[in-house]
Amino acid sequence: MHELTLVALNQEPEEEIGWQERSLCAQTDPEAFFPEKGGSTREAKKVCVGCEVRAECLEYALANDERFGIWGGLSERERRKLKKRAV
């Protein structure tokens, strides 16, 4: 997992971490989920499509205002748009 994710994991109550342990991204290259600016998000999103905890991941990212990386299959820009539509 990426360093930012590890910091978040260390601050979560133990029962809240369960979904992250079951995530497919935890079993793959973390660099794909935190591409350089302008880099492709395609590979990360392919992993997210088949992930059983995609909804929990997206919910976490929205609730914690994650500003970097692919969470729940969405980029930061896509999450921002989703939040605006929800308001």
Flag whether 57 is marked binding: yes
51 is in an annotated binding site: yes
**H helix and E strand count, the chain:** 5, 0
Residue 27 annotated as binding site: no
Kindly report the length of the chain: 87
**Torsional sign, CA 72, 51, 1, 21:** positive
Q: Provide the CA 51 distance to its chain's centre, in angstroms.
A: 11
Give the residue numbers of the binding site for [4Fe-4S] cluster. 25, 48, 51, 57
Give the residue numbers of the binding site. 25, 48, 51, 57
